[in-house]
Structure 1
């Protein structure tokens, strides 16, 4: 098997889908790696490190796509990459097809076996390849939000941790999954007042026990959300359903009640966002203001810390990549039910129910 590693081209992307360590693992198992020149530079890995690990380093993405049986990426193929995809190829990456109908159609048109990191399941029914980036995004959301609250950036001038004699900032996190829980951890660590809302009381119980009542936990219903959003200095949208379009839980009317200079960071933007006033931004133009509220919604937020994110992602993908090298893609999918859950497109059709429901078509 030949695995292709093209350089990521989404705006501001710094991650790479394969480290030299993973490359060495693949080649030791008898696989071949073809890597585009400079693919790992922004994550801190040189071409020479990949050559030493056994990779063939080539001059263009076109050569990678032409040679590889399996394309290993971080972000979904961009429009300029559509023409590079070969009929019947396998692509293993974050696909987020619920927010990308054009990509879904192209994968089907070319009979691409689309394996989505975000729907691969572990033996416990969790999502091991979604988890590390959710953790990074959750922690970054507080770091970014705290920065955007600064006066010179148009924020309210609120220091999240406050100082003695002043009120700390109020952070409201909607969603207590992986990303939300890590946002709570960072916000609490900075000394902010933190409120977290979720429908699942079990998640709220875990947070309540961990922070011994220092974090306010509320059931996520419209009344509670409306009240807390209105009082938030920093609002984190962290409602994410793997592969499905994110539900809107914070309405336009709720956002209009927020104080000028407050900040929204929507982690769920990969799946369309969970806040009605949100739309995707980029690392080049990460924010916009609406109703006086700063909105941040960069889909590839973890690229801000490319080294950490690359290490976290590739450690999670390595067992699955190694399995496919050892057994071949089809046999690996047949034998590993969790990996097979990653199939989003196959034989010209969308196969993952949540994606079908989100897009309204299955081919």
Structure 2
């Protein structure tokens, strides 16, 4: 019987630098009995060459061969055009953000694919587990948000903030606090449900909103009036800025704006991609840990009685299993008068 193949797709999202499986992870996957196919150039930006993948036991092949693998792993959900039609029983594994593309999820479910989304695992993984890939990437984003803001301060000595306000909670918040303190800053923290303290705003030269991007509009934590209270030259980074809204007035995804009073507002995008080698290694560990739950005796088995798979599998056996996607599809089709 031929070995089950696992394909590592090259990321094509603008600005994406990570790869879903690093060479060290290839060895772990081979131990599970799978044969690894890596698309040419998949790890190049992160510093992982084809030669290193081959040395780890992978084959470097074309996109067509990767997309036909039994299991395809990605960082971000690919487009339908990139992946092409999926076949019955084929598995797609990555940060699929199902609520951002419910009709794509339904299409692949109708084709009989199994979709496993690593951003669904926060409640199952536990605080010390690498299984929750989204949390691991959020930690990198929190750290990079502080470093980005410090770089934009333009102060001597360079990158030395004095007062940092962190808004939010979770892994990005924890890492932002640690990084700011390492830079010597005084740090205050306010929860995601709290607006920034107006009277204290002039004392901060960096504000980081670490509210994680969600499937609904995030709360507005810094409005125009709050931005005007910040000292000139301050930097605000909004990690939640995305297709569903923002937590900072005027923030736009992937855009840096300097306001009239000299305050810089950064709609951060996915900052984990700024440290591709480290972020890819962390993501790869999440992939291999999930595969250890999925693959038995060299064959993938989507056992929905397994807690991690019960949460992460969002489509299987021709059906969508994600409750939010099902609600969204039902509401949309009802409004459109479709069956």
- Residue matched to 2:184: 191
Tell me the CA shift for residue 39 of structure 1: 1.0
- Residue matched to 1:262: 234
1:131 to 118, 130, 135: 135
1:322 partnered with 2:295: no
Q: Secondary structure at the match of 1:344?
A: strand
8 Å CA contact 1:129–1:316 kept in 2: the answer is yes
The separation in 2 between residues aligned to 1:176 and 1:97, in whole angstroms, is: 23
The separation in 2 between residues aligned to 1:227 and 1:353, in whole angstroms, is: 42
1:250 to 221, 224, 232: 221
Per the normalisation by structure 2, the TM-score is 0.81
Tell me the CA shift for residue 238 of structure 1: 1.0
Q: 1:256-315: per-residue Cα shift (whole Å, max 9, x none)?
A: 44344321212223674433432211xxxx523345532222432111111111112212
RMSD of aligned residue pairs (Cα, Å): 3.1
The separation in 1 between residues aligned to 2:201 and 2:87, in whole angstroms, is: 48
2:258 to 289, 295, 299: 289
1:307 partnered with 2:310: no
The separation in 1 between residues aligned to 2:167 and 2:330, in whole angstroms, is: 27
The separation in 1 between residues aligned to 2:182 and 2:270, in whole angstroms, is: 24
Tell me the CA shift for residue 97 of structure 1: 3.5
Tell me the CA shift for residue 116 of structure 1: 1.6
Q: 1:227 to 1:128 in 2, by over 3 A?
A: farther
Q: Secondary structure at the match of 1:50?
A: helix
Tell me the CA shift for residue 187 of structure 1: 0.7
Tell me the CA shift for residue 5 of structure 1: 0.6
Q: 1:58 to 1:264 in 2, by over 3 A?
A: same
Q: 1:76 to 1:261 in 2, by over 3 A?
A: farther
8 Å CA contact 1:97–1:104 kept in 2: the answer is yes
* Count of aligned positions: 320
- Residue matched to 2:337: none
Alignment of 1:346-357 (within 5 A): 346=316, 350-354=320-324
1:120 partnered with 2:121: yes
Q: 1:106 to 1:19 in 2, by over 3 A?
A: same
Q: 1:140-183: per-residue Cα shift (whole Å, max 9, x none)?
A: 111000011117xxxxx79664xxxxxx5321100131101110
Q: Secondary structure at the match of 2:275?
A: helix
The separation in 2 between residues aligned to 1:299 and 1:359, in whole angstroms, is: 27
1:278 partnered with 2:271: no
* Gaps in structure 2 of 5+ consecutive residues: 334-339
Stretch of structure 1 that moved more, 46-55 or 1-10: 46-55
Q: Secondary structure at the match of 2:295?
A: helix
Name whichever structure is richer in helix by fraction. 1
- Residue matched to 2:57: 54
